[in-house]
Amino acid sequence: MSARGQRKRRGVLGWAWRLLLLLALWLAGVASYIVWVGERDQAAPADVIIVLGAAAYDARPSPVFAERIRHGIDLYQRGLAKHLIFTGGFGNGARFSESQVAQRYALKHGVPRQAILIETRSRTTHQNLQQAAALMKAHGFKRAIIVSDPLHMARALRLAREAGIDALGSSTPTSRFRSFETRKRFLLQEVYFFHRDLFVKTR
């Protein structure tokens, strides 16, 4: 290869390394932002607490969902809002929707029925928040505390604001996603969704 060809090749490789470095820095920045939002607790007086749905096993919440429900109840009992909205529809073949499971759990833990609102149609985070926004509008609520897992909070808050909700985030203080491997998988998933949502309309 000629000296000119070698210089050209080195130039191309140099630009490729620069682009890879910029990409790595960007992805690290997005991941750091997601972690930072999840670790920040904005809990403050609001009209309602929205607990985002997660898996339920018949009438029993999954460990992840139970953590969200408990945290929502704790915020309610601290007097930060007078109402709870539980979200989440029916899984395949399920007898109860996720929100019904959460409602049963809250009632057993002393939350009065009149303080609980549910929706049973949503299947995704985006739908959770669209349905919650409709309930808020119907009841004249303006501000909400969003409850979810720490690494899910950045996306949840963005979708809440897109739905017209004046949203504050309060992540679960404990989570099923405690090991390095589970946290890494969840974080990589959220980094993917961050970029997907820039180009694909969420449903």
pLDDT at residue 164 tops 70: yes
Structure token pair of residue 198: 């820039």
Q: What is the tens place of the pLDDT at every residue in 70-101?
A: 999 999 999 999 999 999 999 888 899 999 99
Instruction: Please give the single-letter amino acid code of residue 150.
Output: P
Nearest residue to 38 via CA among 129, 147, 149, 146: 149
- Cβ proximity of 86 and 99 under 8 Å: yes
Phi, psi (rounded to 5 degrees) for 125: -60, -45
- Cβ proximity of 156 and 146 under 8 Å: yes
Order across the sheet with 48-51: list the strands: 116-118, 84-86, 48-51, 143-148, 166-171
Q: What is the pLDDT of residue 175?
A: 60
- Cβ proximity of 58 and 41 under 8 Å: no
**Cβ of 150: how many Cβ atoms within 10 Å?**
25
Q: What is the tens place of the pLDDT at every residue in 2-60?
A: 655 555 666 667 777 888 889 889 888 989 999 999 999 999 999 999 999 999 999 99
Q: 203 falls in which pLDDT band (50, 70, 90)?
A: low
For the entire predicted model, the pTM comes to: 0.86
Q: What is the pLDDT of residue 126?
A: 93
Residues forming beta bridges with residue 143, ordered by sequence position: 166
Contacts of 3 (CB under 8 A, 6+ apart): none
- Cβ proximity of 37 and 168 under 8 Å: no
Q: What is the tens place of the pLDDT at every residue in 99-113?
A: 999 999 999 999 999
Q: Report the alpha-carbon distance of residue 200 to residue 196 in Å, rounded.
A: 6
Q: Report the alpha-carbon distance of residue 50 to residue 52 in Å, rounded.
A: 6
Structure token pair of residue 23: 């990409």
Q: Phi-psi category of 164—alpha, beta or left, where left has phi over 0 and alpha has psi -120 to 50?
A: left
Q: Report the alpha-carbon distance of residue 78 to residue 136 in Å, rounded.
A: 21
Q: What is the pLDDT of residue 184?
A: 78
Q: What is the pLDDT of residue 92?
A: 82
